[in-house]
């Protein structure tokens, strides 16, 4: 075996060995704040009466996707404006 073939074989073995070494690296440490994130996932956000009513209206109109999102956004604006200023007229 020549010197060049020995060097090539050694390089190949070292590449394979280094790949295995990287694969056996330890996992990153877990965050210690898991209790706070579990509480956020466990308790869903309360929905307002306006939000529920707008969703019911969107369901009645069978709206989906972007149309539903746009309808709910406008409905919520109107509902909030209606509670803040009941004498406000639409243009």
* CA 63 – CA 70 distance, rounded (Å): 10
Tell me if residue 17 falls in helix, strand or coil: helix
Query: What is the predicted pLDDT for the residue at 89?
Result: 46
pLDDT in tens, 27-50: 666 666 655 555 566 677 888 888
Q: Is residue 53 part of a domain?
A: yes
Overall domain count for the chain: 1
Closest CA to 57 of 40, 39, 78: 78
Question: Can you read off the two tokens belonging to residue 10?
Answer: 């050694």
What's the rounded mean pLDDT across residues 15-35?
A: 65
Q: Is residue 63 part of a domain?
A: yes
* Domain carrying residue 52: 46-83
Q: Is residue 61 part of a domain?
A: yes
What's the rounded mean pLDDT across residues 10-24?
A: 73
pLDDT in tens, 48-85: 888 999 999 999 999 999 999 999 999 999 988 886 55
Q: Is residue 21 part of a domain?
A: no
Q: Is residue 34 part of a domain?
A: no
Q: Is residue 31 part of a domain?
A: no
Q: Answer yes or no: are the C-beta atoms of 76 and 50 closer than 8 Å.
A: yes
């Amino acid at each position: 075996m020549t010197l060049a073939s020995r060097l090539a074989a050694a390089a190949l073995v070292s590449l394979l060995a280094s790949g295995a070494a990287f694969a056996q690296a330890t996992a990153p440490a877990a965050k210690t704040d898991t209790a706070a994130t579990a509480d956020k996932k466990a308790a869903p956000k309360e929905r307002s009466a306006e939000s529920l009513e707008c969703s019911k209206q969107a369901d009645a109109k069978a709206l989906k996707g972007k149309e539903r999102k746009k309808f709910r956004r406008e409905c919520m604006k109107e509902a909030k404006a209606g509670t803040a200023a009941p004498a406000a007229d639409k243009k």
